[in-house]
Structure 1
Amino acid sequence: MKVFFLLFPFLVFSQQNVAKGLVLDKVTNEPIPYVNISILESTIGTSSDDDGSFSLEIKEEDINKIVSLSSLGYESSKIPVSLFLKSEEIFLNPKTEVLEEVVIKDKLEEKTKTVNKIEDSDLCHGFGSFAENPWIIALYFPYKDAYEETEFLKSIKFHFGNFKNKKAKFRLRLFTVGKDSLPDIDILKENVIVELKKKQKEAVVDVADYDIIFPREGFYVAFEWLYIPYNEE
């Protein structure tokens, strides 16, 4: 008699829940695109898509945590993951901005100055989209007296060198400098989404219409990666 032993591998599956829904403006009921959605105290998150829709896989160990939602022009919102999983529609309140003193100046375009000019050959590092969360990279630009005659921001150029880029979308962010010298308040009050074509080596974003004066304390220019299906292709 021959005895056969059949070996069955034990497969361990971690239980996951999928949250799906829409992020909407509480006043207009319109969808809000590119909302950052993240689970606090974790590395998991996503962004709402162009139509305000989102989908996020949530692990069992994150069920008792908090979800944070934030977007330009809206008050941030925090809700328990357990409630987030049951919500097909999530509403954000538009932010009421308190305007500070506004100084109107003549805007002359005859003079331009390039700040922090770089070449493709200067680039030696790259960033991928493998993280499961939106991320931001910011570069500080100090103010110099030489900028006084060209104090309005005209355009911002992003270089991508010779990397084999896929098509992608990212958000331009401009920040004031906080008391801790870190990025603080958004200077741009609306979404400026930049779309890249495959193998595109640079992107120039025209910001002249926003009438932004170079802050005397300097400012941060930031590249915000959006964790949306478009960027996963």
Structure 2
Amino acid sequence: MKGFWLLIAGLYMLPSLIVAQTNTIRLKGNIKDAATHAPVPYASIGLQGKDIGTVSNSNGAFELSVAATNASDTLVVSMMGYEQQRYTLQHLAQKLEADPTVLLEPAQHLLQEVKVTGQKLETNSLGNKATPSGVGMTPFKFSNLGNEIGLLCKVKGKITYLEAFNIDIFLNDYDTLFFRMNIYTLENGLPKENILHEPVYLQFTGSKGKASIDLVPYDIVVDEDFVVSLEYVKKLHKTNLVRKEQSGLYFGAKKLFGGTMFTRYASQGKWMVSNDGLFAPKMEVVVKQ
């Protein structure tokens, strides 16, 4: 974790250097709701297909510095419940100089059709759930807002109602943990479209324990395999500065036998896949089928 903090310290020093460089494009602005002009917190900003991006803060403000060689690349601004905005990097930079506000239009969503049957539903667990043996821990290694880690959940074509999400916190030296949970469809074996119409956040305070989200109020229904992920959208603030070893944030973990884990470094970045028995976080989705 020492390397993580050295990286963060380095990032705070970058702005003064960027201003002096002519080969860097610096974006700075605020993301707002086009209808109400209220700030849109934790919106994703990223170059399509590249590991370059960030997330707006709780007030909708963001900053992102990108090499000028990416000037013609597509940059996507997105948030659940809103229509995506797409720009070339150069176009958005010019726009923000004239007006630092990016407006997102609320999305119009059709109600999802749910097939109701008289069949009795059974409660099941999907993902990388805990077992009596082979349990350990894995460190939190994220250093960039927009990082994600996700697991494949197989529903085998059954109508499936998502009830809860659980993850084990093995050790936590930060104040309040804050992550966004995402649910993705699959295309060609990779996460594709986030099916959630509103953001779902995981919050946890304490040194260890089970962090959970009640998903019942969100009425999430699927009938195809999906990926559940946690996304790093708010910087953590360390409160325990005494611990020397195993310091920071560790998730409970176990071998992911026969399963698939996905990671990506930034919003709109490329997904990386591992299905070779990786020691992965115990991320569990409780469902009724």
Would you say same fold, with TM above 0.5? yes
Look up the match of 2:228. Answer: 221
In 2, are the aligned partners of 1:165 and 1:200 still within 8 Å (CA)? no
CA shift for structure 1 position 105: 6.4
- Conserved in 2, the CA contact under 8 Å of 1:141 and 1:218? yes
Structure 1 residue 74 displacement after superposition: 1.6
Q: How far apart are residue 201 of structure 1 and its match?
A: 4.0
**Structure 1 residue identity aligned to 2:204:** L
- 8 Å CA contact 1:153–1:207 kept in 2: the answer is yes
When Rg is computed on C-alpha atoms for both structures, the one with the higher figure is 1
Identity of aligned residues (%): 24
Distance 1:220 1:144 in 2: 13
Q: Secondary structure at the match of 1:160?
A: strand
Q: Which runs of 5+ in 2 are unaligned?
A: 1-16, 239-289
Q: What residue in structure 1 maps to residue 276 of structure 2?
A: none
Q: Which residue of 2 aligns with 1:139?
A: 151
Superposition TM-score, scaled by structure 2 size: 0.61
Comparing 159-168 with 215-224, greater Cα deviation is found at: 159-168
Unmatched 5+ residue regions in structure 1? Answer: 1-10
CA deviation digits over 1:8-66, x for unaligned, max 9? xxx9x744454222111222222211111113465332111112111223344444443
2:28 paired residue among 20, 26, 38? 20
| Structure 1 equivalent of residue 236 of structure 2 | 231
Does the CA contact (< 8 Å) of 1:126 and 1:163 recur in 2? no
Seen in structure 2, the aligned counterparts of structure 1 residues 158 and 192 have a Cα distance that, compared at 3 Å, is same
Cα-to-partner distance string for 1:87-117 (whole Å, 9 max, x where unaligned):
40011222222334333568x99x7444453
For residue 139 of structure 2, the aligned residue among 105, 108, 126 is 126
For the pair 1:75 / 2:83, whether they are aligned, the reply is: yes
Contact 1:170 1:193 in 2 (8 A): yes
AA at the equivalent of 1:128: K
> What residue identity is the alignment partner of 1:98?
L
Matches of 2:25 and 2:185, distance apart in 1: 38
Q: With structure 1 as the length reference, what TM-score do the two structures score?
A: 0.73
Q: Which residue of 1 aligns with 2:6?
A: none
Which secondary structure state, in structure 1, belongs to the residue aligned with residue 236 of structure 2? helix
The answer as to 2:153 corresponding to 1:153 is no
Instruction: Supply the AA of the counterpart residue of 2:153.
Output: F
TM-align CA RMSD: 3.4
How many residues align? The count is 214
Q: Distance in 2 between matches of 1:51 and 1:60?
A: 27
Specify the SS of the correspondent of 1:84.
Answer: helix
Asked which structure has the greater RCO (Cα within 8 Å, sep 6+), the reply is 2
